Amino acid sequence: MAIAAAAAPGAASGQSLIGMLLPFVVLIGVMYFMVIRPQKTQQKKREEMMAGLRKGNRIVSIGGLYGEILDIKDDALLVNVVDQGEKVIVRVAKWAVQEVIGKDNQPKEKDQAAG
């Protein structure tokens, strides 16, 4: 009888340990699907955008400069920031490109006006 009584508290503590760890495991799972996984997919899209940059693309930099890529170096871009008149060429770091505007190097305004 003493052996059975001694084993009972051990079994109860094993169940309480699982009960204490289960919320943490669930929280880690939720954090993975709510934070880490979307961040990885966003990072993958950004890397694809960076790899797809080419001459003639219209871009927006993280500083808010709109322009057209004239030349691509290893880690920098030469960007014309004036559409009409004189050329104002600015050197921009490749990582500073926020987005590529429009489809087929056309600005969004022309795409919307045509549609």
Q: Which residues pair with 71 in a beta bridge?
A: 78
72 and 40 belong to one structural domain: no
pLDDT value at residue 11 = 53
User: HSE (CB half, 13 Å, CA atoms) of 3?
Assistant: 0
Q: Which domain holds residue 86?
A: 58-114
75 and 106 belong to one structural domain: yes
9 and 42 belong to one structural domain: yes
3 and 43 belong to one structural domain: yes
11 and 44 belong to one structural domain: yes
13 and 47 belong to one structural domain: yes
Is the model more confident about 24 or about 86? 24
Last residue of one domain, picked from the residues 32, 51, 70 = 51
Measure Cα distances from 10 to 5, 21, 33, 92 in Å: 10, 17, 35, 65
Q: pTM of the prediction?
A: 0.61
64 and 101 belong to one structural domain: yes
| Number of structural domains found in the chain | 2
Tell me the per-residue pLDDT of 70-114, one tens digit each, with 9 for 90 and over: 999 989 999 999 877 788 999 999 999 999 997 654 444 544 444
pLDDT value at residue 93 = 94
Average pLDDT over residues 28-56: 92
